[in-house]
Structure 1
Amino acid sequence: MGDTNDISIVTGGLQQYLNKKALKKTETNEDIHQQDSLFHNLPLDCKLHIFSYLGPEDLCRISAVCRDWYFVSEDSILWKELMDRDVKAWNVIGHKTNPALYQEVQSDWSNKEIYIRCSPHINKLMHKNDAVFSFTDFLKSFLPKKSWTPKIAMFGPGLESDLTSGLVRKILYDHNEHMERTGLVSGQFEGVGSGWCYKLPNGQTFQLSVLYSASKQQRTQKLWNRVEGNNLIQINKDEEGETIVELKPAVRDFCRSVDAFVFVVDGTSLDNLKADEIYELSAMLKERWSDTHIPLLVMSCIPNSLSPRLPCIKVVEALNLGNLNRPWQVRDCLVENLEGVIDSFSWLIEQSQRR
């Protein structure tokens, strides 16, 4: 009899515990539903204001919570404001990831789709977590590597700026474990084309030739003008008297043999991107001696991490890159440690092989 009572006591105690646990869970669910109802009853403007404090990853996650949150998180104005805010911090923008490209052609894509397509951070996460990308990269490792080494021409006002001119010195002369210098290349044209051979950690190789507008002694003269005293370009007049900026013959012949271009700019201020300096870029990219499949990389350089930086999107707008009919990319780079430089060359090599 005592044993039966003991069993009843134990059973009753367990039942009480289970009842209390179920009651607590019910109360918790009621609290959650009550909180949900409070949020659901908020005006749409309040919901959008709350969601505006979230980042793109959080907005994508909460869209799966319920139908109401999905519609709020998909709001076009919300994603437009998010893009206008975040685009200034993007460290790379290219011909396929320029938001203006989709906005100007009145694309059917929503602002959310444009953001996800263009954001370098989102693209990196998708590439990292996507099994298809990983499997593709795995298969590529078994494919035979092309022995062809692209020839890259580097030029631009950033090579001659007091703040960023150290970039070439860092690449050529400082010990760098990420860029191995493997040899020299003699020039094929009069005074133009000599350079160096490099190898990246992933096995990619390239030839680099650096083109200066003038010697340092010439540039320091008070009366020196970047257009009129430029060793790369020459000024001509057409039949109507309009000014035409063209490459000098030797430089023109060299550009016909180039597989990719690097245009270096001082990214500390918009004042460094003057019209006189852009003439040089437009002359180099003329279709008469540069095919439209030849890619352009713009390195927006600052001397160190403490220096002020011009957003990539401002560089895109200042150079009017959206109107180019060739692959292009703008990337933030640091002179002090070559941050961004290796990725820049890697992208340029891949693009130069897509013909």
Structure 2
Amino acid sequence: MSFAMKKIFGAKEKTPLGFCDAPQMTVSEFFFGENPNYPKYHTTYRPLGHIHRVAAEGDAAQIEILIMLGQCSVHDRDRKDRTALHFACVYGRLPVVTVLVNNKCEIDALDKNHITPLMKSVQCWKQKCATVLLEHGANPNIIDKSGNSALHYAVYNGHEEMAALLLQYNADIEQKTKDGFTPLLLALREKRVEVAEFLVKMGADIHVADELQRNTLIYAIRCGSRDLAILLLEKGIDFFYKDVFGWTALRYAIEGHCTFRQTLLDFEENLYINKKRNKPEVEVEPKTSRVLAEQIDAGNDSLAKISSCPSPETPVLAMKGEENSCDTRVNCSSAELLSLA
């Protein structure tokens, strides 16, 4: 089996569910590149309504004439409940957006997927249109049928400037999708590292976790971002936090051959040295992790033989009502793909 086919169908997993095995490549990344820019309106879609066609073409003067003569309304909808404002935002027709807004169109109109014109501006990288909408009172915290807000769309596209614009207009930085993904956790899932760093610096909760209780530090290991990992540690992320498999970020780094695992090993050693200074009577030498790293380097592909942590094949899920052994702030589930419009 070729390297490419192994990447599609999966190779032997070393970390639970192959989460931090490196190198990684998703099916979409294999076919479309590392950062596929989707979803968005199909560019070949033909608007059916007269005002929708004119809006998509960007003829602001014609829009004004149609409205003035009463031949069309700014509230006209197509078969997918999209307004002229939706189309103007998709194609970045700023003059049309201005005309529609000045004629009191419904600025937060919802299409059949509960997607607003603002979401479409964000999704299609039309920042000037998004700015006009926000200046005229567009609500950045409306969510679509999957629970995605405009900020989730900005994060999904890796658009830091758009995310900053939305936060300037009071977008909820902790808004969760129906599957429990905040913008920060979504950024990490999609490997939008720069956006993730930006959100952390803007005060996003770093203690969020997915349905398997993998926190932001574990995701930083998966993303291969030393700077993000250091930033999270500086912000006080729990270094010894464990997911449902009983694995810490350090163990993921060791087993997944993370390029900056030495940084984490040194951080652990410093923690123990400081603890030793505070409690000199206690023996607290951090030898275990280094032994694990040496075992992996020596070709031992399974830590189960030399670790008290449960095997990846037998995850230990906390039952409802039981007290979790780790400091879990959020209980999330896997995020859906952003809905296709």
Common fold: TM-score over 0.5 = no
Rg larger in 1 or in 2? Answer: 1
